[in-house]
Amino acid sequence: MARIFGTDGVRGIANVELTPELAFALGRAGAFVLSRYANSGGSISLLVGRDPRLSGDMLEAALSAGILSTGADVYQVGVIPTPGVAYLTAQQPVTAGVMISASHNPAADNGIKFFSHAGFKLADELEDEIEHYLRHPEELPRPGGAQVGRIHRVPDWQSLYLDHLASSVGISLTGLTVVVDCANGAGHQVAPALLRRLGAEVIAINDQPDGLNINVLCGSTHPEELSRYVVKHSADIGLALDGDADRLIAVDHLGQVVDGDAIMAVCALDLQQRGLLAGNKLIATVMSNLGLEQAMQQNGVELLRSKVGDRYVLALMQETGASLGGEQSGHIIFSQYSTTGDGLLTGLQLLQVLKSTGKRLADLTAVVQRYPQILRNVRVNDKGVMSEADVQQAIVQTEQQLVGKGRLLVRPSGTEPVIRVMVEAVSLELAEAAAEPVVQALQRCSPGR
């Protein structure tokens, strides 16, 4: 059996790959494994949340049944952002948490991701242990009679999450006009409500989920409509969430898209000025633009890079004691308030900077002078082609060519038979020219692709 867990839980086409049978099995195996690491005095329970996808009801029922069959209780919080599940799992008397969502993926997909009792995504070792019991369900307990679990429906717990987010903002947002694109997803109710609660004038779009329109030409992966609304209504800012509201892309008053790199730059410099940027460090990934790194250097902030993926960002944050880190995609972690990326929290921190400084977002993001970036995907038969002498020689020569003018990143895809060649340079022409020898070397060394 191939590994079930990917880089962010278990995902697949609902009822085809991610079936009710698999969800039931994940519930059983996950509840049993996580209960072994709980300090709960014998009482085991899992918090379950979901986004509004059509398949959410089906998978929630199957997952919950699997959990109940081990004797554990289920606390169903309903439709809620992924970081809400992480927060409530850490704050409420439950053993672990589970979110049913495929984030920014199309509506036909869905996913299941687990959180530890402390609100963190699971380590690979725990996921491997869960997979063991997926393969050997006969090793799992099956209590009967009065020993099976119960379901508790607790939608009111969502207010605890909103109270927590509101407490992260030290000033009123009165006077700011905000357009929020809810991606027809998990943030469709809580995002507009929270922004209004804090005093902002809110225009909400894509806030009417029907189970099938999540992420459809909207949200953080499609901010075009948000840009039009911001300009049309002369708003101060636009905020675009994704389907499970764990990431954020912004739009300034001119309708220009502001990605995670620029958001991190603005927030890092604000935290630095207030003495709250731990160690004067910012954690980004290898994909973050060189312009972000230079902006941080110029302002005395050390930028460290992790592998792509929020779990690697968090791991490096914990290792170095950093308090802020994230990805270009808008998955940003403020460790003072959250154990995972949180689009709503990120939006609030960005709005707080706008309100406290009185500056436009376009002016604040000018600190990042973005380098042109190109990405070439080279299909290969074997990802080991990267170690071929011709490829290594092309990489070394290109890196020498880019010294002081850009950077090269060559890495294998985690999901496709592809080597990704990314080049950033002072000009688009230089980036394209620098990428070509590496691409050609990869193609030469992978015949018959």
| Cα dist from 239 to 71, 248, 301, 349, 361, whole Å | 42, 7, 26, 12, 12
Rounded CA separation 317/310 (Å): 10
Rounded CA separation 13/22 (Å): 12
Count CB-CB contacts under 10 A for residue 348.
Answer: 23
- The residue count of the chain comes to 449
Task: Work out whether the CA dihedral 257, 260, 266, 270 comes out positive or negative.
Answer: positive
CA 123 to centroid of chain Cα atoms:
16
413 is catalytic: no
Burial of 185 (0-12, 13-18, 19+ CB in 10 A): buried
Q: Work out the angle between the directed axes of helices 82-91 and 343-357 (0-180°, nearest 10).
A: 100
Rounded CA separation 98/29 (Å): 13
- What one-character DSSP code corresponds to residue 198? T
Pairing mode, if any, of strands 151-153 and 10-13? Answer: unpaired
Which residue among the candidates 45, 55, 64, 103 is catalytic per the annotation? 103
| b/e sequence 385-410, b meaning 16+ C-beta within 10 Å | bbebeebeebbeebeebbeeebbbbb
CB 326 within 8 A of CB 307: no
Residues assigned a catalytic role: 103
